Amino acid sequence: MQPQRLESACECKTTHPEASPIHGIASLNPPLRGVKENPMTVLNKDPWFVTWCIQAHGQQMYGKQPYEFHLRGVAALAARFGFTDEMTQMLCFGHDVGEDCINPKTGLKYTREDFIEAGFPPIVADAILAITDQPGADRAEIKAKTLPIIAAFVVNMAETGFSNVRPVVVAKLCDRGFNLKQGRKSKNAKYRRYQHEHPDFVTALYDPKEVELQPLWDYVNSLV
């Protein structure tokens, strides 16, 4: 059964600067709100949102690596398959902030308003929340609630600046692809779990009419 695409508030018009190259971006550069300033912001020439997301994750680790390793890997995978637009890159770097991070200003998880205050366009804030796991009694219930939301998030590319009509699916595929690639080396428990979940993952998110996503799907499937 293919996921039904829903018309929703996701199809809204936002005002944002023209998409720029991911490295050395010169557009939209507000102060980092809700995270501590990092002097490397000036030195590494990352877009502001890259620094913001890395700092939001604080001391969180990805295995033995700083969480930055995961964020950059997911964004790089999106770029490898042609999704270099600024909006998708924002989403890739921010995809785990809503799930894993606490806003130091409020002591609570980041909200839509927090993301917008930090400088993210409203549509990206919505996308970050759409990819964030929903509450559930266990992982099976969490994924059963979250994957349909990911599948249903549809945007107007011309109005939003995204390069795909289902950008949250793109980000989720890149997240899953990166995790599979890393876990495949050791066949760890997380990798085996992804293998077990893959049929449901495909059923929830795959649409054969989205030919532009097929190379990315092929990559993810090859790692399972």
pLDDT tens string 170-190? 999 999 999 999 999 889 999
Q: State the residue range of the domain holding 207.
A: 40-223
The model's confidence at residue 55, banded by pLDDT at 50, 70 and 90, is very high
pLDDT band with cut points at 50, 70 and 90 for residue 45: confident
Structure-token match 């809503």, residue found: 98
Q: pTM for the complete prediction?
A: 0.81
* Residue ranges in the chain assigned as alpha helix (H): 40-43, 48-56, 68-80, 86-94, 97-100, 112-118, 122-131, 139-152, 157-160, 167-184, 189-205, 214-223
Supply 40's token pair.
């490397």
Q: Can you give the CATH number for the domain in which 185 is found? A: 1.10.3210.10
Please report whether residue 219 resides in a domain. Answer: yes
Give the pLDDT band of residue 15 (cuts 50, 70, 90).
very low
- 103-143 tens-digit pLDDT: 999 999 999 999 999 999 999 999 999 999 999 999 999 99
Instruction: Answer yes or no: is 179 within a domain.
Output: yes
Q: How many domains, in total, are found in the chain?
A: 1
